Structure 1
Amino acid sequence: MKKRTALLLSLFAFAMILIIGSCKKKDETAAPEQAPTIPPSSTMVMDFNALPSSAKKQSANTPVDSSNLIYAAFNVGVWNLVIGLNMVVPTAAFLESFNHTAVNTGKGTWEWTYSFNAGGTYTAELDANVVGNHVEWKMYISKASVFSDLLWFSGISAIDGKSGNWTLNRKDAIANTVSPFIYIDWTRTSSQLYTTKYTNIIPNDTGNGSYVYYGLTTDTSYNAYYNIFYKNNSNLVEIKWHKTNRNGRVKDALHFNDTNWHCWSTTLANDTLCQ
């Protein structure tokens, strides 16, 4: 009797192992691993041309005083110049990644490898490692006979694609090394509702801690903004405007010697009836 009971228990255990194994195989077949989605380009590449342009208005027969808008655009342009000079290579590498398919290199790890052009031919390797509810990203860039596998940027993004950050490095002008340059925070609800913030993280730089913060909102009066903070003089420049109507306003206590908003109308001319 005992032998029969032991035999039945053994057969039952064996049957359960077969059933569990079969279920696992079915699950693996039904739901194979998929590469994580690369965060959209707007999470890294800020739109520095979002403000309405006063150029067309200035060409009219009657000159238009658009000094408020022009001052706002000047502050955005300063960041565009500084950032642009150091982001040509990493930006080109990132944008090219969307044209390629990842290879699974191990459980939870994916790799995009490709060549791209940025004033020369480079090779990029974008690695993604899925860890819990987020993805860790690393971009290695090489140039034949010059440098190999420089970690040009890294980052973390939520699995749902709604938030994340990037840390961008910049290459030394002479040595084949990189050092911290810009930290990027981003959030995203849709292509029409998101934020991107660049913060200066250059070691020992007088501007370390300065930032430019760009966002699109659902506000009915002003649905876009830039906040620009200068660490060296602790000054904040606030810019808001409506993307469709084109009217907007700017606030800068140091420049205007007051804490008031200084506006421009839908014609882009200065607006004295400012709120």
Structure 2
Amino acid sequence: MKKLLSLMLSISILFTACNSDNEAEQDPKPVLPPEYSMAPNFDDFKADNNQRNQTIENWFYSALNVGVYSAILTGGLAIPVTAFKATISQNPIYDTDSGVWVWETSFTNNANDFSIRLTADVVDANVNWVGSISSTSLNVENFVWFDGQSNIDGNSGTWTLYESPQKPTAWITADWSRNEAQTVANANFTIEKEGDLLGSYINYAIDDENNLDRSVEISNTESGDLIEIYWNQELKFGRVKSEKYFGDTDFHCWDEDLQDVECAN
């Protein structure tokens, strides 16, 4: 009996030592980039039909322009964006063979099933991210639909989102950052796809210390417009500026019901 207990204790000590050695060989676990770095929340620019029939020109013009980018991220690039969102709640494992952190899960888009393998290769204080997506129904296997870099603390980084397995060229690039307290953040999305919108961008910002705590600046190369939009995420009131559309350099405001109002000084 004593020999058996001694043997079990020896095995336990050996297993613990091996496990400690494996943990010691692991790269530090990186912080995942925030969701807004790839998919900002533009739900504040959705309204029902009754609201659209009211006097909401200022809000509606803002929603129309935000919708151009929202349509790309929720339409043409819905698969990589949905894939990234699906990984955020997952716990990673460390692949000792390849020396990378791995997040894996499955998701559905337009009735098609997909799987995502997101890897993080830590090099000093930097992280290289690769999002490989597969789908048996679409005959896609380990297509790198997005990749990027960040610092290990998850306070700044970049993304590149590719169009499709049939056309694996960059559609949108993003660079993002946030402060340590995560009260101030920024993400800039630039269209890289050939066409009328090439070079257009939308800059999305969060500043929880301001009354107008969300904002976007939009540059549309097709229309030549430069648009500034500020709004309160909770109460929904806001303002917009576009010299090309309104014919002046003033802000044009809307209230909590999205109705046009005079801007306060």
TM-score normalised by structure 1 residue count:
0.76
> Where does residue 160 of structure 2 map in the other structure?
167
Cα distance in 1, alignment partners of residues 114 and 54 from structure 2: 46
Residue 207 (structure 1) aligned to one of 166, 183, 197: 197
Number of matched residues?
A: 244
Identity percentage of aligned residues: 29
* 1:30 positional shift: 8.3
Question: Is structure 2 residue 214 aligned with structure 1 residue 224?
Answer: yes
CA gap of 1:116–1:267, structure 2 versus 1, over 3 A, is closer
Cα distance in 1, alignment partners of residues 244 and 264 from structure 2: 19
Cα distance in 2, alignment partners of residues 240 and 271 from structure 1: 15
> Where does residue 40 of structure 1 map in the other structure?
34
CA gap of 1:95–1:195, structure 2 versus 1, over 3 A, is same
* 1:166 positional shift: 0.6
> Where does residue 105 of structure 1 map in the other structure?
96
> Where does residue 131 of structure 1 map in the other structure?
123
Contact 2:44 2:236 in 1 (8 A): no
Cα distance in 2, alignment partners of residues 137 and 188 from structure 1: 18
Task: After TM superposition, list the pairs within 5 Å mapping 1:75-90 onto structure 2.
Answer: 75-90=65-80
Cα distance in 2, alignment partners of residues 39 and 117 from structure 1: 22
- 251-260 or 84-93: bigger deviation: 84-93
Question: Is structure 2 residue 145 aligned with structure 1 residue 152?
Answer: yes
Cα distance in 1, alignment partners of residues 212 and 114 from structure 2: 41
* 1:227 positional shift: 1.0
Contact 2:183 2:209 in 1 (8 A): no
Cα distance in 1, alignment partners of residues 49 and 182 from structure 2: 27
Cα distance in 2, alignment partners of residues 58 and 50 from structure 1: 13
TM-score normalised by structure 2 residue count:
0.79
CA RMSD across the alignment: 3.0
Task: Report Cα offsets for 1:69-108 as digits up to 9, x if no partner.
Answer: 1211121122212332122211232122232432323475
- 181-190 or 132-141: bigger deviation: 181-190
* 1:153 positional shift: 0.4
CA gap of 1:252–1:264, structure 2 versus 1, over 3 A, is same
Task: Report Cα offsets for 1:181-232 as digits up to 9, x if no partner.
Answer: 1101111235543222221011x32211111121111453422111111012
Cα distance in 1, alignment partners of residues 23 and 84 from structure 2: 32
Question: Is structure 2 residue 62 aligned with structure 1 residue 72?
Answer: yes
Cα distance in 2, alignment partners of residues 138 and 30 from structure 1: 23
Partner amino acid, structure 2, of 1:75: N
Task: Report Cα offsets for 1:134-178 as digits up to 9, x if no partner.
Answer: 100011112237132211000001111111111000115xx3x42
Structure 2 runs not aligned, ≥5 long: 1-17
Structure 1 runs not aligned, ≥5 long: 1-24
Question: Is structure 2 residue 258 aligned with structure 1 residue 246?
Answer: no
> Where does residue 185 of structure 1 map in the other structure?
175
1:50 counterpart SS class: helix
> Where does residue 12 of structure 2 map in the other structure?
none
Task: Report Cα offsets for 1:93-135 as digits up to 9, x if no partner.
Answer: 2122232432323475223344332232223222211112110
CA gap of 1:117–1:100, structure 2 versus 1, over 3 A, is farther
